[in-house]
Structure 1
Amino acid sequence: MRDVCIVGGGVAGMATAIFTARAGLDTLVIDGGESILARNASLENYPGFPDGIDARRYLQLVREQASTAGATFELGHVTHVEPIDETDLEAGFVVETDGGEPLEARRLVAASWPDSEYIVPLDVGRIQRGSKHLVDVDEAGRTAVDGVYAAGRIAGEPHQAIVAAGHGAKVGLAVIHDADVNFYHDWVAPEDYFTGRDREVPPGCEEIDDDERRRRDERARETILEAFADPLEDEPTMHPSVESD
């Protein structure tokens, strides 16, 4: 029984996973194989990259960050989700994929644009937009079914990576809240920030001394330098409707 199963390995799903895993929830991401962001030739409106970034490189880094946080991954497509007990949604959900054994999770996050067919049995409420079906959610990404959430484009959010990341993080915080995790703020603070004011370090926060800050900064710089050392050979994924030569 996983604490959280996230369907979709794109920006929204990864952002959710980073937050839930860092909060100590056992988080599994079922990845369909390729985010729609991989069609982007150059991601140039994401804060922090003045001259843009290769979208595939960005996806690699986000996935690595979720893995470092403690999330695990399974490659596949979810085909069906149903409650373990129709009378008790707190018992969790059975998640079936197109390969492998069914999985069980206490909470489910749909972040799988544009596919939402697998949650039809849950009757979460869907909204048709053209040929797509969005999932009806509240402002925090909760659906009408307790324990089921939706993040990113499938929840009706705009088609921008920064928006998907922000919404995924917001949904992750909703999942953490609903899971009754002892959590205040995911924040690494300098030494004495809290304790220097005779306060306990809040749950989810961490104080580090200057030596540890420098170690983490060095590790972070090494990771980025290694990631950008060589250009990616992969080309953007073309839209399926475009015929290849």
Structure 2
Amino acid sequence: MYDIAIVGGGVAGRSAGIFTARAGLETVILSADESILARNAHLENYPGFPGGVDARTYLELLREQAAEAGCTTVADRIVAVTPRAENPSVTPREDGSPEAGFVLEGENESYAARRVIAASWPDSEYLTPLDVGRRQRGSKHVVQTAETGRTAVDGVYAAGRIADEPHQAIVAAGHGSKVALAAVQDSETAFYHDWVAPAGYFTGRDRDVPPACEEIDDAERRRRDERARERLRDALAEPNDERPTMHPNVDRD
């Protein structure tokens, strides 16, 4: 059984996955469609890219980062989420956990997870078996949440646009990360901050390095910096020839 199942592989979903996986939670991202950000012609308001960045290149880097953090990605469309106790169709791994969790029914197969993060704008129909509280917004529905992304159902969260957050990539990334941290907290995983500090930052004050933190020496810092610059050079060396996805309502003929 997965610790976290994230429905939606866009900016909010993969940002959430980076944090849950780095916290040591077994995370699966279930995604059937490309991110709506793929419709963007050029991403120009994302902090850290003063000249902007090709949206498809950004999404490729995000997918790579989530994978390196430890996320598993499965291409499947989720059609229903039910409490595991009410749906015995999946027999998850038994490891003594008292948390019953949920069954996510996909078009291809079913999945079991202790916690679910919905990040699948505009689709939220699969949540109707759960009384999470959906509100109509135009022709679509958003999920009602607390500030942390928690819904009315314990163990179910919503992140990004589906949680009625603004339709901006940086907001989706930030909210997905914030919701992930709520899920990490609820899992009772030992966690302080996801923070890489210079050697001595904690131990130099006679403190143990807190959970999810790390101290690295200067040689390791330089090694990681070189690797990061090399990855960016490779990603940005050539133009991305993939064209933006047009809005489905536009006649392409």
**TM-score using structure 2 length:** 0.94
1:50-82 residue CA offsets vs partner (Å, 9 max, x unmatched): 010001110111111111100110012111110
* Aligned equivalents of 1:136, 1:203: Cα separation in 2: 31
1:163 match: 171
Aligned to 2:201: 193
Match of 2:95 in 1: none
Is the contact between residue 20 and residue 172 of structure 1 (CA under 8 Å) also seen in structure 2?
yes
Q: CA deviation at 1:229?
A: 1.4
Q: Residues 64-213 of structure 1 correspond to what in structure 2 (within 5 A)?
A: 64-86=64-86, 90-99=99-108, 101-213=109-221
> 225, 232, 236: which is aligned to 1:217?
225
CA distance in 1, matches of 2:29, 2:166: 22
Q: Is the 8 A contact 1:90 1:147 kept in 2?
A: no
SS at match of 1:201: coil
Q: 2: distance between equivalents of 1:104 and 1:48?
A: 37
Local SS of the residue matching 1:52? coil
Partner of 1:7: 7
Distance 2:216 2:186 in 1: 29
Tell me, what secondary structure is at the counterpart of 1:91?
coil
Deviations 1:175-203 (A, max 9, x none): 00000000000000000001011111010
Q: Distance in 1 between matches of 2:75 and 2:58?
A: 19
SS state at 1:85 partner: helix
How many residues align? The count is 243
Structure 2 residue runs without a partner (length 5+): 87-97
Structure 1 stretches lacking a partner, 5+ long: none
Structure 1 ranges of 4+ moved more than 4 A: none
CA shift, 1:98, in A, is: 1.1
C-alpha distance in structure 2 between counterparts of 1:215 and 1:75, whole Å: 34
Q: State the alpha-carbon separation in 1 of the partners of residues 202 and 111 from structure 2.
A: 41
Q: Partners of 1:132 and 1:126 in 2: how far apart?
A: 10
Q: Which amino acid aligns with 1:31?
A: S
* 1:90 shift after superposition: 2.9
Instruction: Tell me by how many angstroms 1:33 deviates.
Output: 2.8
How many Å apart are 1:228 and its aligned residue? 0.8
What fraction of aligned residue pairs are identical, expressed as a percent? Answer: 67
